[in-house]
């Protein structure tokens, strides 16, 4: 008679949280560009943002978005993939115009694009009422930043204000990324991210 052999169950694989990678890529790139928008760096510094937007703001967030898809996080997948491709749009625009392949678009066209991103971000912000207060704060700051930048390109003189608020937004994202890495490394909640506003 054949003997039954028990097959040991393999332990479930613990996946890393891709969120901090996406937040860091977003936050760092946002801080650098916002320093230019705020007037802290000259406009001639824009070329330094282009490869950063491709590599860290873009690719890092695309990677985070794909990994969020694998973990079943629809919000994280949509947010990181979308903002990663926002940075690709920005980098392609600067690159093609700078190389003379395309004519520089009118400021009103850029304002419309930024306005649409502001609306998109506002809609995602509504969703974050069910996320942590830390994530909620990032999206709150971001949609206001987009609206200020859009108004600035539309001629209302709010571009520098958008740059300064962008610095706060980027720093907020970097701080949340740090907290998530710290908590994951410690294996416990060292610094809480705040309970959701809505359950």
Q: Is the pLDDT at 184 greater than 70, yes or no? A: yes
pLDDT at site 193:
98
Burial class (CB in 10 A: 0-12, 13-18, 19+), 95: middle
Q: 144 or 3: whose pLDDT is higher?
A: 144
Characterize 159-174 residue by residue with b for buried, 16 or more Cβ atoms within 10 angstroms of its Cβ, and e for exposed: bebbbbbbbbbbbbbb
Q: What is the pTM of this model?
A: 0.93
Confidence class of residue 78 from pLDDT cuts 50, 70 and 90? very high
Q: Is the pLDDT at 197 greater than 90, yes or no? A: yes
pLDDT at site 13:
75
Q: Is the pLDDT at 139 greater than 70, yes or no? A: yes
Contacts of 45 (CB under 8 A, 6+ apart): 35, 36
Q: Is the pLDDT at 6 greater than 90, yes or no? A: no
Q: Can you tell me the mean pLDDT for 110-130?
A: 98
pLDDT at site 116:
98
**To the nearest whole percent, how much of the chain has pLDDT over 70?**
94
CA–CA separation, 135 and 121 (whole Å): 12
pLDDT at site 15:
86
Question: Is the separation of the CB atoms in 125 and 140 below 8 Å?
Answer: yes
Q: Is the pLDDT at 191 greater than 70, yes or no? A: yes
Confidence class of residue 5 from pLDDT cuts 50, 70 and 90? low
């Amino acid at each position: 008679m054949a003997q039954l052999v028990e097959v040991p169950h393999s332990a479930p694989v613990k996946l890393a949280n891709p969120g901090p990678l996406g937040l860091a890529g977003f936050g760092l790139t946002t801080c650098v560009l916002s320093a230019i928008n705020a007037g802290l760096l000259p406009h001639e510094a824009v070329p330094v943002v282009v490869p950063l937007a491709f590599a860290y703001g873009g690719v890092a967030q695309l990677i985070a978005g794909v990994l969020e898809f694998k973990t079943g996080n629809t919000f994280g997948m949509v947010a990181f993939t979308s903002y990663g491709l926002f940075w690709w749009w920005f980098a392609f625009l600067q690159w093609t115009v700078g190389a003379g392949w395309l004519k520089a678009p009118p400021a009103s066209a850029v304002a419309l694009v930024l306005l649409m991103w502001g609306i998109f971000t506002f809609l995602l912000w509504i969703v974050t009422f069910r996320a942590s207060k830390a994530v909620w704060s990032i999206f709150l700051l971001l949609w206001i930043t987009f609206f200020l930048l859009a108004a600035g390109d539309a001629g209302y003189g709010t571009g520098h204000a958008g740059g300064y608020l962008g610095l706060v937004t980027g720093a907020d994202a970097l701080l949340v990324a740090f907290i998530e890495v710290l908590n994951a490394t410690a294996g416990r909640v060292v610094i809480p991210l705040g309970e959701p506003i809505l359950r």
